[in-house]
A and B are shown apart, each in its own frame.
Chain A
């Protein structure tokens, strides 16, 4: 496994309103297409993520394209795509953004992704976007949309009510109607009418991307020594930033390379990482989990691409899209569980043949925090080891985290 990252020295951060060095990407995304190895591709992705001005979105706009920012965890990106607009996964400001104004507007005891997203709105960093979608994954994301509608009144924003009743026969028709509500706004932003045919074509594009993402996730589960967690994460993350038609061939090429990799199985401990379904941990933290002797064989990162299996467009593609949300087997913290939290975690442990669980939850992320208690109870009953750590977007020291992870690994090794 190539050593891709160095834990960086303390970053100076970028003051509000400043953007630091900007990366310029060509409108045909040739920088990515020309990357001739996974290593180069993930390096480039890393550079793109370090620039909070959304270089890929700026590149897309050079030819007049429109872009819609989608807050985690799940937005029906296919709808945005069917209007010829770019759906972009917004994952906060990352490590290089100083928060100065968002604290006062939003409140103190809130996750970093909500604050950095608002900070970016207040400081012009979201200017490359034409509209925003905030799904109702939690009260913070929901309220954030209400603030966006005031601070960025010229830009459309939409709070998407994702249902929580998965047994009612009325849920799918409701979600179809809910998607139509979103479509009303998208039509205004795009200046175009919704088309079932276009949606059908978009579903196929995303099916293709999803199939490749699944292949990557299977590789990570079955041969985790072939792809590091950081590589895996960056390849997925890129999928929410590039036009999907660009990402698909890149991911296909990367998979061919990764699957052929001749790496040695280090016999590290197989763990699943639960909790980072919305705010994303730093690359350093992700790397640390594997550096200390774990293989991450299941996780909740970048759920956007993994929400549901293939969607058959069917006679009514909008209904198919809604059905896929309601019927998905995904059982994470922002969706009411169809069974119990205990059953959910144990089946994930079994499916991935994990030896332990690392809970990585964003600080102040209440949905994740509450689940951890129920998950832990079930793991205790089974005698399975786990570790819980909280993270923020701007972590600068990892000594404590390394110590905790090393102790956890040792406790399993010498059990």
Chain B
């Protein structure tokens, strides 16, 4: 999510382009963030560890905590090709091959002292487990609690099985939020300031508006953005810095540049041949190579589910200073993987329509059951019930040993070749479109 190696030209495609000012600004925000976390002489704010899905950033921020997201630290390591060492170390501690790569990357890193090339990760003073969409969150945070002896707050988020939450879900969540606030008051000696929370939420909302504007740009034809490959860079502020003015301003810069792209006709690819929906977590360790496999065929990711792991803002949700706790409760329910399969299928069906999608690529993660268990069934549903050409491929998000480039490339080439043939047949004179 921060730096990647310098853009390499894709075989048969142009170099990926990023939004220049936004990229620069994003890099600066990432550096400042990790710089701030680094230990220094002066007294440091307390540190809360949190998970992306259903996180309570606004509340801990209102109490002056710094927030560390181990998932994001882990993916930063992976994208910088630094995950394998941590994973191997975790395996030497007993974590098996089938344990989530994030967990192993993080626990390995923590046991090795928490030093990364982008900064020193501080120890937690508080562990906030937002159990929203992934059971492994519980296991991971239990391991951190045992290793650091830090208190753990378990924020239990009901799984979403109906489109709208029920009153009892919201009541349960709001009650837990108050308990959380009382815990923070006790730990920090500060009195909860509702006005401060409302101010933070207003900034969150502003960032959310900007983020959604960026995501929705994928609806244009051609799309001025790569909704999967570029989003993972621009997710940092919405997930990590949400509630700060910097995060909100950031999306102003992003959207300015997206508008300029449209005006100047400067699109991610010279020719958008296929509008693709991507489902699943990216293979961070080989993210650029994976992107190249799309670019080669003129395939642009116009919409993706992964950027919604931190919240379904594009489906209308916003934090609301007028309903602070209720809206935080609603937010926590909205992590993408906290949606049941019928809801996930509905979201995807809507995307296919709204973004005029030609095909879908599902990237399954070997060590992530939450996202992946059932993606084969999704593929079957997309092909047979929605008539959408769909490819399923599998590797890992964190462990480079499971990314088989030749095999993945072959499968993708065969897939896009078949799409090309299908188009050629449909365009041939005298052939009625299927």
Contacts and interface: CB of A to CB of B under 8 A. Distances in A.
Interface of A: 103-110, 114, 136-140, 142-147, 149-151, 159, 161, 163-171, 173-174, 177-178, 181, 333-334, 336-337, 340-342, 363-364, 366-367, 369-374, 376-377
Interface string B126-167: 000101001110111011011000000011101101000010
Nearest to B179: A168
B243 to A, nearest CB: 24
B374 interface: yes
A106 B376 contact: yes
B377 to A, nearest CB: 4
B221 to A, nearest CB: 31
Given A107-B374, A139-B135, A170 B159 contact: no
A110 B369 contact: yes
Given A150-B342, A181-B166, 15 more contacts: A105-B377, A106-B373, A106-B377, A107-B375, A139-B337, A139-B373, A140-B373, A144-B374, A147-B341, A149-B341, A170-B172, A340-B145, A342-B146, A366-B369, A370-B95
Contacts of B172: 168, 170-171, 173-174, 177
A170 B369 contact: no
B124 interface: no
Given A171-B172, A177-B166, A373-B93, A144 B373 contact: yes
Contact of A341 (B140, B142, B381): B142
A219 B142 CA distance: 33
Contact of B136 (A144, A173, A364, A366): A366
Contacts of B326: none
Nearest to B152: A336
B168 A146 contact: no
B125 interface: no
Contacts of A143: 341, 369-370, 373-374
A377 B179 CA distance: 32
The residue among B100, B129, B158 with the most chain A CB atoms within 10 A of its own CB is B158
A136 B342 contact: no
B246 to A, nearest CB: 33
B388 interface: no
Contacts of B380: 104-105
10 contacts: A143-B370, A150-B345, A150-B381, A161-B159, A164-B138, A165-B154, A171-B156, A336-B142, A373-B93, A374-B146
B367 A109 contact: yes
A174 B340 contact: no
B155 A165 contact: yes
Nearest to A148: B341
Contacts of B161: 159
A147 B340 CA distance: 10
Contacts of B136: 139, 366-367, 370
A170 B171 contact: yes
Contact of A366 (B139, B145, B159, B169): B139
Contact of B373 (A114, A170, A363, A370): A114
B144 to A, nearest CB: 11
A159 B161 CA distance: 8
Contacts of B96: 369
A341 to B, nearest CB: 6
B419 interface: no
Contact of A107 (B135, B340, B364): B364
B318 interface: no
A103 B98 CA distance: 17
A136 to B, nearest CB: 6
Contacts of A139: 134-136, 337, 369-370, 373
Contacts of A178: 158, 168
B131 A147 contact: no
B99 interface: yes
Nearest to B107: A373
Contacts of A136: 135, 159
Contacts of A144: 373-374
B175 interface: yes
B366 A374 contact: no
Nearest to A340: B146
B313 to A, nearest CB: 23
Nearest to A108: B394
B373 A107 contact: yes
A164 B153 CA distance: 11
A386 B183 CA distance: 38
Interface in B78-124: 93-96, 98-100, 103
A337 B169 CA distance: 23
A404 to B, nearest CB: 16
A104 B362 CA distance: 13
A114 to B, nearest CB: 7
A159 B343 CA distance: 13
A151 B378 CA distance: 11
Contacts of B135: 136-139, 142, 334, 367
B332 interface: no
The residue among A104, A171, A336, A364 with the most chain B CB atoms within 10 A of its own CB is A336
A73 to B, nearest CB: 12
A114 B372 CA distance: 13
B377 A138 contact: no
Contacts of B364: 107
B119 to A, nearest CB: 27
Contacts of A337: 142
B165 to A, nearest CB: 12
Contacts of A149: 340-342
Contacts of B337: 139
Contacts of A146: 340-342, 344, 374
A376 to B, nearest CB: 6
A151 B394 CA distance: 23
B109 to A, nearest CB: 16
B327 interface: no
Contacts of A336: 129, 131, 138, 142, 154
B356 interface: no
B176 A341 contact: no
